[in-house]
Amino acid sequence: MKKIGFLTSGGDCQGLNATMRGVAKHLFEHYGSDLKVYGFKDGYKGLINNEYDVLTSRDFSGILNLGGTILGTSRVPFKELKNEEGMPRVKKMKETYNLLGLDCLVVLGGNGTHKTANLLSEEGLNVVTLPKTIDNDIWGTDMTFGFHSALGVATDVIDRLHSTATSHSRIFIAEIMGHKAGWLTLYAGVAGGVEVILLPEIPYNIDKVVEVLEARRRAQKKFSILAVAEGAISQEEAKMSKKEFRQARENMKYSNISYRIADEIAARSDLEVRVTIPGHVQRGGEPSAYDRVLSTRLGAKAAELIINKKYGYMVALKDNKIVPVPLDEVAGKLKTVPLDSEVITAAREIGISFGD
C-alpha cells in the first residue's frame, strides 16, 4: 500500500486544487486501490496536530476549476520552527509522518513553505514540493501556478480604472500584491497600459513620478494610472538599514504605501489622486486556463517522481519543460525581477516610467 500525504501551506491562490488533482489522478491511475491519500488540514498545523482526512479519488473530481484549497491552509513561519522552541513542532510533524507510515509528503506552497519542507527533508522525510504563489518569486522555476490567474485579476482592475480615470480626469493608483518581488505589478502594469510602475526592485523618486504626471497633463492627457507594488520603496528608504526601514514603516501614518504616494503627489501638484487596493481579490476565484494546464503538468510530474522514489525535489517549469529541482537549491532563495528584464526594457521603450 502506497501512502501519500498532501498539505497546502501559506497564502491561498488559484490552482492549488488543480495541482493536487494532477498529482492524485496520476497516482490513482498507477496504484489504483493500493494507494491511500491523507489530506492534512490547514497546512503544517494539520501535520503537527495529526489532523487529516483520508481522501479517495472522488475527492479529486470536480476541483480543476475550483479556487482556494479543499484542505485549508495556514501560516507556520519557518523562523518559529528553526530554533529550540520550534523543534518540538518539527518532532510532532515527524511523529505524524511515521505514525501514518507515509511514503511521501507532497507540499504545495511558497517561499516559507519550501524552507520548512526542506527542513523536513533534511530530517529524513520523503518530500516532493510544488511552487505556489501569485508573486512568482520562487527560485528555480520560471513560473509558479497562481501567478497567471492573479495577473488576469490585477489587469482587469487596471482596465476598469481606465474608465473612471478618463471620465473624471484623475490620477489612479492601483496597488498590486507583492512585498519583495514585483513580478505581478510589472506584468499587470504592462498589460494594463499604465504610465508608471513602482516595484520593490527599483526604488522610486517621487519627484520623477510627478514629472511624468505633469508632462502628461501638459500633453492634454487628462488622466494617468500607476501600478504600485505593495512593497514599493523610495530611494531614501533604499538607503536605510533593515532596522531603520522597519521602524520607518512601523511609524508610517498610512496603512498602505499607495496612500503615502498619493499624498506625496498631491503635495507636489494640484492633481487629484485616488487609490484602489484590490487586495485578496487577486488571490481568489477560479484558476485561468493557463494555470489549469500548468498545474496539471506540475502535478503529473510530481506523481512521476513519487512513483520513481525520487524525493527531495521541487517540480518546476524551466524553458517550458517540467523538471525536478533539488529542494535544497530552492529553499531560502527569492526570485526578484532582474533589472535587465526584457519586460522592463520593453516597458521603458514605450514610455512607461519606473520612477527612477
* Domains parsed from the chain with CATH numbers: 2-146+287-330 (3.40.50.450), 149-283 (3.40.50.460)
Q: Pairing between strand 35-40 and 52-55?
A: antiparallel
Phi, psi of 37 (to 5 degrees): -115, 130
pLDDT of residue 139: 97
pLDDT of residue 181: 96
**Of these residues, 42, 135, 137, 291, which one is catalytic?**
135
- Residue 146 makes CB contacts below 8 A (sequence gap 6+) with 13, 14, 15, 16, 132, 133, 134, 283, 287, 291
In order, the DSSP letters of 206-246 are HHHHHHHHHHHHHTT---EEEEEETT--BHHHHTS-HHHHH
- The widest CA-to-CA distance across the chain, in whole angstroms, is 72
Helix (H) or strand (E) holding 346: helix 342-349
Sheet of 171-176: strands edge to edge? 196-198, 224-229, 171-176, 273-276
Angle at 242 between CA 239 and CA 247, to 5 degrees: 100
Residue closest to 60 by CA, chosen among 101, 93, 29: 29
Residue with cell 514610455: 351
Radius of gyration of the chain (CA): 22
pLDDT of residue 88: 86
Q: Pairing between strand 224-229 and 321-326?
A: unpaired
Beta-ladder partners of 138: 334
pLDDT of residue 86: 63
Active site residue 319: no
Residue closest to 65 by CA, chosen among 236, 297, 289, 320: 289
Burial label, 162 (beta-carbon count in 10 A; 0-12, 13-18, 19+): middle
Q: Pairing between strand 224-229 and 171-176?
A: parallel
Query: CA 145, CA 111: separation in Å to the nearest integer?
Result: 13
pLDDT of residue 89: 87
Helix (H) or strand (E) holding 71: none
Burial label, 194 (beta-carbon count in 10 A; 0-12, 13-18, 19+): buried
Query: Alpha carbon of 272 to those of 170, 209, 229, 258: distances in Å?
Result: 5, 14, 20, 14
Classify residue 35 by its DSSP letter: E
pLDDT of residue 245: 87
Per-residue pLDDT of the chain (356 residues; tens, 9 = 90+): 999 999 999 999 999 999 999 999 999 999 999 999 999 999 999 999 999 999 999 999 999 999 999 999 988 877 677 666 667 889 999 999 999 999 999 999 999 999 999 999 999 999 999 999 999 999 999 999 999 999 999 999 999 999 998 888 889 999 999 999 999 999 999 999 999 999 999 999 999 999 999 999 899 988 999 999 999 999 999 999 989 989 988 888 988 999 999 999 999 998 889 999 999 999 999 999 999 999 999 999 999 999 999 999 999 999 999 999 999 999 999 999 999 999 999 999 999 999 99
Query: Alpha carbon of 351 to those of 78, 190, 239, 256, 340: distances in Å?
Result: 41, 11, 27, 27, 16
Classify residue 57 by its DSSP letter: G
Residue closest to 37 by CA, chosen among 64, 25, 16, 127: 25
Do 78 and 112 touch, CB atoms closer than 8 A? yes
Total residues found in the chain within this entry: 356
